[in-house]
A and B are shown apart, each in its own frame.
Chain A
Amino acid sequence: MNKRTEQPIIADEQIIELYWQRNENAIQETDKKYGQFLFKIAYNILHDRLDCEECQNDTYLGVWNAIPPTRPIAFPAFITQIMRNIAINRFKEKTSKKRIPSELTVSIEDVNNILHSDDTVAAEYEAEEVGKIINDYVRQLSDRQRYIFIDRFYLAEPVETIAKDLSISVPTVYREIEKIKQGMKLHLERNDIYI
């Protein structure tokens, strides 16, 4: 699937059009343009090359099945969501069996003492409802904190990568994560989610 050709990389709109035409080149073009990126998302979560490749193939199948009828406005975000969900499901299967050295595990532990559910909480709030509240919180963050939140907790990027992207120090990233956690705790409490 990871073929490399000398042909130019085409625009997202053209890739989406290939899916609509049911042209199988759509998957090749997606892999050419986003293959490495998708693999990295999966690797941050799973840390296993074989699992990542399987998830990548499942992602391409998922995109193929979704377009049409969908015509995504932001294709990178669309495929990222699909890949992340697939990798997360694989992650859950694996962590029930053994511990895996995943950035996702580390980023979960970052908020482990903030957000958890017992039977009562889970009965009241589904993940989607909590997700809405977290979305509100993320929108209130500064640009830098929002970048750190999404990179760390959605994409499970290592702290060093985040520090490099933002041209700040690793300790500063850790400090911002701490602030984000504290702020999220307060925001959750304001919405009747108590720790």
Chain B
Amino acid sequence: MNNYLFIDAVSYLDADLLAEHLEKKEGFKKKARIKKKTNLMKWSATIAACLTLIIIAIPVISNLIGYHSGLSEDEIFERSNTYYDNYEDLVAIVGNDTLLENIDFSTLNDYELRLVHELDNVNDYHTVSFVNIMPDDEFGFGIHFPPYNKKTANFVDGGETVIINGITVQYEKRGTEGSNYKYDIAAEFEYNGCCYQIRSMGNSEESVFWDNLNALLGN
């Protein structure tokens, strides 16, 4: 089998495609440099939270490193993440008592449904990840099953609170300076013993986040 056929074929990428790509890449670098110039105070709380996370997670990470030694990051990802084309197959593993039941998958244009689990064992799972992929927006969330560590589960730092259908939702509007988006919102709540962490961003309106959140909460 000649692996180099593909490498060599890609070498013939048209110069105009490459030139356009490099311009875009340069543009992203410039935006990243602008984004780096943020207020240190804004990040101090995040840094404090990360330190807390690291201290709590050290025993977990030590176990993981020992268990995963010799595997590349890509291999670890592939063996601990399973994608599902339909909800029914996922329900067979995680059950139907999550808020995924409120999503009408038949109306979605494109979505990603993924189970995060121990290596090669879908039955030893800890998170379901769902992303509704729209032309200009994304609405995604992770369902963290117990036992999850409440301290490490902190995804929203401060922000505001709203009650939807009896569920208390904490949400935070994140800055979009230097990014490609008009809005970027994170939210978090607990339901049926699980921790739901939501991230929605896009170029339409913030109402996309609220519409999807209300639908998720059966409102």
Report A's interface with B, CB cutoff 8 A.
73-74, 76-78, 80-81, 84-85, 88, 92, 104, 106, 108, 111-112, 114-118, 121-122, 127-128, 130-135, 138-139, 146-147, 150-151, 153-154, 159, 164-172, 174-175, 178
Contact = CB atoms under 8 A, between A and B. Distances in A.
Contacts of B205: none
Contact of A108 (B7, B14, B140, B201): B7
B15 A167 contact: no
Contact of B15 (A78, A151, A164, A175): A78
Given A84-B11, A175-B83, A146 B17 contact: yes
A78 B16 CA distance: 10
Nearest to B114: A171
Contacts, number: 123
A80 B74 contact: no
Contacts of A165: 25, 28
A134 B2 contact: no
Highest count of chain B CB atoms <10 Å: which of A73, A131, A178: A131
Given A78-B15, A154-B18, A167-B201, A134 B9 contact: yes
B15 A172 contact: no
B99 interface: no
Contacts of A114: 6
Interface residues of B, number: 41
A127 B131 contact: no
22 contacts: A73-B19, A74-B16, A77-B19, A80-B18, A84-B11, A106-B72, A116-B2, A116-B5, A117-B5, A127-B5, A134-B9, A134-B10, A134-B13, A146-B21, A147-B21, A150-B21, A154-B10, A167-B201, A169-B131, A171-B81, A172-B131, A175-B112
Given A74-B22, A116-B2, A127-B8, 9 more contacts: A77-B16, A108-B6, A115-B5, A121-B5, A130-B5, A135-B12, A150-B17, A151-B21, A175-B83
Consensus secondary structure, chain A interface:
helix
Contacts of B181: 167
B11 A131 contact: yes
A101 to B, nearest CB: 8
B1 interface: yes
Contacts of A138: 13, 17
A115 B12 CA distance: 16
Nearest to A74: B19
B43 interface: no
Contacts of B4: 92
Contact of A76 (B6, B10, B19, B133): B19
A127 B13 contact: no
Contacts of A85: 11
Interface string B5-47: 1111111111111110110110010001000000000000000
A166 B133 CA distance: 14
Contact of A167 (B5, B22, B180): B180
B81 to A, nearest CB: 7
Contacts of B133: 172
B129 A171 contact: yes
A139 B12 CA distance: 13
A154 B13 contact: yes
A35 B66 CA distance: 38
A22 B99 CA distance: 68
B3 interface: yes
Contact of B3 (A116, A128, A151): A116
